Structure 1
Amino acid sequence: MVHVLHSEVVGPLEPYADGFARELVRRGYAVNAAAHQLGLVAHLSRWMMSQRLEAVDLTPEALGQYVEVRRRTGHRNLRTVKALTPLLEYLRGLGSVPVMESPTPQTAAARLLQQYRDYLIEDRDLRPKVVVGYVESVRPFIEAHVRAGAGELSVLRAADVTAFMVASSRWLAPKTVQRQASALRSLLRYWHVQGLLATSLVEAVPKIATGYPAVPRALPPAQVNELLASCDRDCVTGRRDFAMLILLSRLGLRSGEVAGLGLDDVDWQCGEITVTGKGPRSDRLPLPDDVGQALVDYLCHGRPAGALDRSVFIRIKAPHHGLTAGGVTQAVAAAAHRAGVGTVYAHRLRHSAATSMLAAGASLAEIGQVLRHRGSVTTAAYATVDVAALRTLARPWPTGGVS
């Protein structure tokens, strides 16, 4: 296979060509895809030779210059630094290319964002995904404040905070504004504790009203069955997607929980799976027979033998590492498109699982246990789904004339 993938690589990267070809095979790249990668390496190596560069000189600046040259010379594909990721990861693994540290922020806004990011990671011990969400939520506020010429945070006023939130509410969805308000309160609290603000401006962030809780939008059982039936279980993709869909629709897992499921999380002897949900919380759930059969079918006849990690669900295309939450959601959307049921994403199947349990006679407390809700208020939203039961609670409309 390596011989088939051989490409004429000359120059500084020639000593790495054979090893990189073997690495591509190990990571599950098809022959054509690996050949394209090696062709890119050959082109990069010739450019490096013309510039008298070695592998250790592949800095972000040098890579930027190379991709610009590749664009100017008319290449139609593999024209970004991202295309070089497999090569760079291989070279860094060998220690031939140093791991680049993040550059020191230069602007005042960038420094403030970096300080806040460090606080969330080191002091609050938040997960990376949560940190990114908080930082991106407050980025517009910090950048607008600095661009306005307020180099000192002490000049920040409560009116500035309120005006920013009012402006955001005009173009952001209510839930997004809620998250931005939470992040902004966290930022202002941090600035006050650090002495960057003389007084706390947390109370200047208005409370965001989102109206009445929405009725959970579930799919009827017939449409859930249509989604499952749309998966071609004679191919690898169909087996994988069917197993994911049945986990979502039967156990009500979130997309991130399905993506995070590992081989060690399935206890076949006890018939249970361990689900890692929001935060560090882990719960054990029973593994229904039909869900277990779907997992066995995929693990035995679909999961790549050369998978790069111990995730249950693996990408179809190389590199064969675990699927992301976004990948799970895309699989649900593709199944909905095939079944002709409109636009459906992974969380709709979680609602469908809850309403199916409710229709079968399960109590709200039992549904909350399966869905692993932290409070009963969250589960109570499903009480609005059973319209027939709600009618018995309605008071009769008064009849007769007005005296």
Structure 2
Amino acid sequence: MSRDIQSPAPVGSSTGGSIRHIDDELQHYDTYLRDLRGLSPGSRRNRLGVVRRLLRQKFGDGVVDMARLDPDDVRQFLADQLAERRTPSNASGLAAGLRNYLRYRSMCGDAVSPLAAVISSPAHWKLAVLPRALTVEEVKQLLSSFRFASRWPRRGYAMVRCALDLGLRSGEIARLKIDDIDWQAGTVTLRNTKSFRQDILPLPVETGQALADYLQHERPPSASSAIFVSPRAPRGEPCTAEAVRKVIKHAYRRSGIPHSGSHALRHTFACRLVEHGSSLKEVADLLRHRSLTTTQIYAKLDTPQLATVPLPWPGSES
């Protein structure tokens, strides 16, 4: 690597200010994750969150001194965190976050091997859990909920249709540009996706109608080329993935469906494809999975029992 890792402020020295020590440490670590590891903002945010909780639990408002962090501290931190949310995904995220941070501190010259030794890899079987898909009734409830939305119903409805009909992730919905829609050909182009490629997908009729309705009647004036822009300050700025997730979360709440996250809409889309006879390769292509292994979870679905789950593909006769 051409760049040198800059060691944080001298361990044990005081810089004044209660949380200033932790903020400075996290800033150095974030620079390492960005410049040397090349992690995306979302991945860095997750890593920083784990480390922030560890440092605050151990050092509180004091100086970050790695020499004072012992294996029992790490064990206690893991126990406390898992007590709040004991799931395989949380355990895996904690273990990965701590290992990455200790690797960074090791490259800074700290002796952290005893700390890393107490971080065990949780058992997390791939394809062990079936995706959570919405039933046909839940889909109807969700879409109907926008009739009762007090603000910007067309915007939310179009976002949900993009997730349900195209299987788009929240970030992909937020990044959609007006020029990405070919209205005559009936296609949508996805750029800068999670798999770092460009994809062209068919645009279902109802999805296109929802997008057109929002663009013509509810989208505020904006110099941005983004389809979805903020309707309030900063008005006209492109929406974020977090904003999309909030819209979907509020729709769940209005419809009375137990919140299961925006990804449930993507799973519903995939289940519909499987039930209609699509091969796993076709599902993988439409979901834009980098590996077919990721799609194999849908091979476990009992497709005869999914007859009540899928809606017809928008625009089709079935």
| 1:239 and 2:145 correspond | no
Distance 1:341 1:140, change over 3 A: closer
Is 1:268 matched up with 2:189? no
Match of 2:167 in 1: 252
Give SS of 2:271's match. helix
- Equivalent in the alignment of 1:287: 203
Which residue of 2 is the match for residue 371 of structure 1?
Answer: 287
Does the alignment pair 1:202 with 2:116? yes
Is 1:180 aligned with 2:102?
A: no
1:354 equivalent to 2:267? Answer no
Q: CA deviation at 1:379?
A: 1.4
CA contact (8 A) 1:332 1:344 kept: no
CA distance in 1, matches of 2:301, 2:100: 35
Q: Output the CA distance in 1 between the equivalents of 2:25 and 2:165.
A: 45
Indicate if the aligned counterparts of 2:156 and 2:247 stay in contact, CA closer than 8 A: yes
Larger Rg: 1
Deviation at 1:126, TM superposition (A): 2.1
For 1:110 and 1:298, the matched residues in 2 are separated by 41
- 1:3-402 correspondence runs (5 A): 107-146=20-59, 152-154=65-67, 156-173=69-86, 174-197=88-111, 199=113, 201-210=115-124, 213-232=128-147, 237-275=152-190, 276-278=192-194, 280-305=196-221, 307-320=222-235, 321-343=237-259, 345-386=261-302, 388=304
SS of corresponding position for 1:112 = helix
- Does the 8 A contact of 1:233 with 1:242 survive in 2? no
- Contact 1:227-1:336 within 8 A present in 2 as well: yes
Q: Which moved more, 1:279-288 or 1:364-373?
A: 279-288
Deviation (angstroms), 1:187 = 0.8
In structure 2, list runs of 5 or more residues that go unmatched. Answer: 1-15, 306-318
1:262 CA drift (Å): 1.9
Number of residues of Structure 1 aligned to a counterpart in Structure 2: 287
Show CA shifts across 1:109-139 (max 9, x none).
4433222122112212222332222111111
TM-score of the two chains, using structure 1 as the length reference: 0.62
1:260-308 CA distance string (max 9 Å, x none): 2122322335433233433744433222232222222221222122x25
Q: Hey, what's the Cα distance between the residues in 2 that align with 1:274 and 1:233? A: 31
Report how far residue 358 of structure 1 moved. 0.8
Task: State the alpha-carbon separation in 2 of the partners of residues 283 and 203 from structure 1.
Answer: 43
**Is the contact made by 1:273 and 1:285 (CA closer than 8 Å) also made in structure 2?**
yes
How many Å apart are 1:206 and its aligned residue? 1.1
Who is 1:98 aligned against?
none
* Per-residue deviation, 1:329: 2.7
Q: Is this contact kept in 2: 1:105–1:114, CA < 8 A? A: no
Alpha-carbon RMSD: 3.4
Relative distance call for 1:331 and 1:279 in structure 2 (3 A) is same
Q: Is 2:18–2:61's contact at 8 Å kept on the other side of the alignment?
A: no
The equivalent residue for 2:313 is: none
Q: Displacement, 1:188?
A: 0.8
Equivalent position SS for 1:285: strand
Supply the AA of the counterpart residue of 1:187: Y
Cα contact 1:233–1:239 (8 A) shared by 2: no
Higher relative contact order (CA 8 A, sep 6+): 2
For each residue in 1:307-340, what CA deviation from the matched residue of structure 2 results, as whole angstroms up to 9, or x when unmatched? 2522211233343222333332333334344444
CA, structure 1 residues 228+203, in 2 after alignment: closer, same or farther (shift >3 Å)? Answer: same
Query: Deviation at 1:250?
Result: 0.8
CA distance in 1, matches of 2:267, 2:138: 13
Check the 8 A contact 1:227/1:335 in 2, yes or no.
yes
Query: Unpaired segments of 5 or more residues in structure 1?
Result: 1-102, 390-403
* Secondary structure of the corresponding residue to residue 278 of structure 2: coil
Task: Decide whether the 8 Å contact of 2:167 with 2:287 is kept in 1.
Answer: yes
Contact 1:247 1:258 in 2 (8 A): yes
Percent identity of equivalent pairs: 34
Quick one: structure 1 residues 338 and 189, their matched pair in 2 at CA, closer, same or farther if it must change by over 3 Å?
Answer: closer
CA distance in 1, matches of 2:294, 2:154: 33
Cα distance in 1 for residues equivalent to 2:213 and 2:61: 60
User: What is the TM-score of this pair, normalised by structure 2?
Assistant: 0.76
SS of aligned partner of 2:273: helix
